[in-house]
Amino acid sequence: MMRFLHPTWLVALCLSLSLFTIASTADEPFRPEAGTFPALDQAHSYRGELVFVDHANRRGSIRVQGSGMFFRNDPHPFAMLPYGIVRYHDAPADLRDIPLGTVLHVRAFLPPDPTISAVPVLPVNNKSKDANHNRGTGIAPAENHVLLLEDEPSHCQREGLVWKLKEVDLKNSEGMIVARREPKEGSDENATEESMTFDAATRIWRGRECLLVEDLISEGTWPTSGKKSLDGQTVLLGITWKPTPDGVFTRFHISDIWLDDEAMQRAARKQTEMHKAFIRSRWMPAWIDAVEYGKFGRAKVTATLFGGMDESLYADFKKDAPAMMNAVEQTLKHTHGAYGPAHMASRGSILEVTQTTGEVPLGSSGIQIHFETDLIIEGIRPGRVVRVRPTNWPKVQLPREEYLNNGSNMEERFPTPAIFPKY
C-alpha cells in the first residue's frame, strides 16, 4: 500500500533537498593566511540567532538557521578574526553591544591557525553533515572565524536592500507582518514572502519619534484588529527570534521597524558614538607589517590599522603625534602588563601616516602608521597583532578580564573551549 508523507514533513524534505543542492555546489572552504586580509567573496555565509557572547574574548555562539526545527539547533561557537568587523544598526560595534536573540548575518572562514583557535575546530566538511535528521543541512559550519558579523539593518544597508511590507494582521497589539526583502530600487522576482511576528514591545522609529504599536493603531495607520494591506511600504527591520507557538519550524520576530531614513541614521549615529568611546579606551587594533631594529632597544615599526571604525578615530593618527603601542592576542586582549595595557607598552611617536591607494579589503583601513620607539617589546614583531593609542585618547584602566599578564599561560590566553559543546 502506498504511504503518503504528511504535508509538514513534505515541506521539510523539499527544503532539505534544496539546501543540500546549495551546499554541494558551494565554493571550497578557505583558510586565511597570516598577514593577509581575505576577500569577502571567499567567505562562507550563514544566518542565525546570537545566543551567547564572551565579549572579552571576542567569541560567542549562534543558532544557525537551516531547514527543520530552529529551536532544536544546537548553538554554534564562533570567534571574531582579529580584524573581523561587527556592525549593529548600520554602525561599528563590539559584540557586547548586540542583544542576545538578535538575528545576524555571518561571513566566516576556516580558522587561520587551528592550534590557537579560541573555539572548537571542526571537520572541513561539517556544514554538509546531517543535523536534526535533515539530509545535508549541517548547522555547524567549520567556517567559524568571522570576518563580518552584522544585524539585519546593517546587512540591508550594505547590500542595498529594504523590506517591503505587504500586510499586517493584528489582534490585541500583536500579530503578524508579511514582507519581502528586495532591492531598494526595483524588485526581485526571486524574493520570497516571509511572515514574522510582532508584539506590543516592538519599537517603531519615525524621524525622532519612538512609537508603539498602539500609536499606529490610534492614528489609523494600522487596524485595531484584523488584516490590512500595507501596499509594499518600504522599511528596515530589526529581527530577533523567540519561541513560537503552533509547531512552526522557523519564524522570526520583529524587534524594530525603521519607517524612514532619518530614524535609521539616528540609530546609526548613536551606535557610532558608543563605539568611538569604546575604541578610545581599548586602543586601535592593527598588525605589524615590518620592524626595523636599531640599537639599545630602538626600533621603527610599520603597522596597518584595522578597518570598520569611524573616520574620526583614524584622523587622530597624525605625523609627529606621540603614541603608545602594546602587543595583544588574536582576541585583541592586551598582553605584557600586570596593571593594564599602558604598563609595558612601547612609547614613541608617529613618524608618518600613509593611505593605501586602490581598493581596500574588508578588515583593513588601508592606513599604515610608521612608529618609532626607544623600547621595543617582545610582542611587537612582524605578523603580530597590536593595539595603538594616540596620547590624546584617554588613559584608563581596563577590567581584569580584558588584559593578560604575559600571555604565556594558555588558559589565561583563552579560557578553554570546554564551555562549548563537543562535536
Cα–Cα distance measured from residue 338 to residue 410, given in angstroms and rounded to the nearest whole number: 16
Q: How many Å apart are CA 84 and CA 408, to the nearest integer?
A: 24
Alpha-carbon span 265 to 92, nearest angstrom: 13
The pTM is what?
Answer: 0.89
- Cβ atoms within 10 A of the Cβ of 94, count? 18
Cβ-based neighbours of 44, under 8 Å, separated by 6 or more: 26, 29, 30, 107, 108, 109, 127, 141, 143
User: For residue 265, is it left (φ>0), alpha (ψ between -120 and 50) or beta?
Assistant: alpha
Q: Which residues contact 369 (CB under 8 A, 6 or more apart)?
A: 286, 302, 303, 305, 317, 323, 350, 352, 353, 388
Which residue in the block uniquely carries the three cell numbers 504511504? 3
Q: Amino acid letter at 62? A: I
DSSP conformational letter for 27: P
Q: What is the DSSP string of 56-98?
A: GGTEEEEEE--SS-GGGSPPEEEEEEEEEEEESSSSEE-GGGS
Residue 86's alpha-carbon distances to 3, 83, 398, in angstroms, are 49, 10, 21
> In a structure prediction context, what are the per-residue pLDDT tens digits for the chain, which is 423 residues long?
333 334 434 334 343 333 333 333 345 789 999 889 999 999 999 999 999 999 999 999 999 988 767 888 889 999 999 999 999 999 999 999 999 999 999 999 999 999 889 899 999 988 887 666 565 566 889 999 999 999 999 999 999 999 999 999 999 999 999 999 999 887 777 788 999 999 999 999 999 999 999 999 999 999 999 999 999 999 999 999 998 877 677 899 999 999 999 999 999 999 999 999 999 999 999 999 999 999 999 999 999 999 999 999 999 999 999 999 999 999 999 987 677 788 889 999 999 999 998 899 999 999 999 999 999 998 899 999 999 999 999 999 888 888 887 666 666 666 666 767 665
Helix or strand (DSSP H, E) at 254: strand 253-258
